[in-house]
């Protein structure tokens, strides 16, 4: 987010609206701080998976690694990304994901329909009916958070993604 804030600052200088840029940066930082505070005791080390899509629904999943915006969101709230890859969006098998047993799965909502798993309802149906995926804690307890895919890319929308993640985590009523 430091790069996003720097870009907002630089654009403010370029367009001679530095004051407005600094207000926007302060608002974004305040929103993130509020989201962090709202999950302070609930999200600590909570195992989370972000599932973007899959070429084939039952095939390997495009999931968030440790270097992109979703990993930032997870860390911001004190959670733990179950995927430790240095790739931004590695493909991972459902057998491996089941071994990692995330407590929460964030599902990307998108308008595109390049792959069958671009549709949230298709993702949920797969998770609930697949013999392996259905055994994951997040699936057994229906802990799905639906997030717009654009929030999963580093941008001004990432702060909205953090808020969505925080609200979803709070909604599950997990113990403090």
| Predicted pLDDT at 176 | 60
CATH class of the domain whose range is 2-171: alpha beta
Tokens of 126: 């797969």
Q: Which phi and psi angles does 61 have, rounded to 5°?
A: -100, 140
- Residue 163 — φ and ψ, nearest 5°? -65, -40
pLDDT tens string 40-55? 888 889 999 999 999 9
The region of weakest confidence among 1-5, 45-49, 72-76, 144-148 is: 1-5
pTM: 0.93
What CA dihedral angle connects 92, 94, 99 and 101, to 10 degrees? 100
Q: Can you tell me the distance from the alpha carbon of 120 to that of 124, in angstroms, rounded to the nearest whole number?
A: 6
């Amino acid at each position: 987010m430091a790069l996003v804030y720097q870009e907002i600052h630089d654009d403010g200088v370029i367009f001679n609206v530095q004051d407005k840029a600094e207000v926007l940066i302060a608002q974004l930082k305040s929103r993130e701080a509020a989201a962090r505070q709202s999950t302070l005791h609930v999200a600590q080390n909570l195992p989370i998976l972000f599932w973007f899509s899959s070429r084939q629904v039952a095939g390997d999943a495009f999931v968030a690694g440790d270097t992109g915006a979703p990993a930032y969101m997870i860390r911001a709230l004190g959670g733990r990304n179950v995927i430790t890859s240095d790739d931004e969006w590695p493909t991972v098998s459902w057998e491996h994901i089941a071994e990692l047993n995330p407590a929460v799965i964030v599902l990307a909502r998108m308008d595109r329909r390049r792959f069958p798993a671009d549709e949230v309802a298709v993702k949920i149906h797969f998770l609930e009916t697949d013999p392996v995926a259905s055994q994951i804690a997040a699936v057994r307890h229906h802990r799905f958070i639906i997030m717009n895919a654009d929030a999963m890319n580093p941008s001004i929308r990432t702060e909205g993604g953090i808020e969505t993640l925080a609200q979803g985590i709070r909604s599950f009523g997990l113990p403090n």
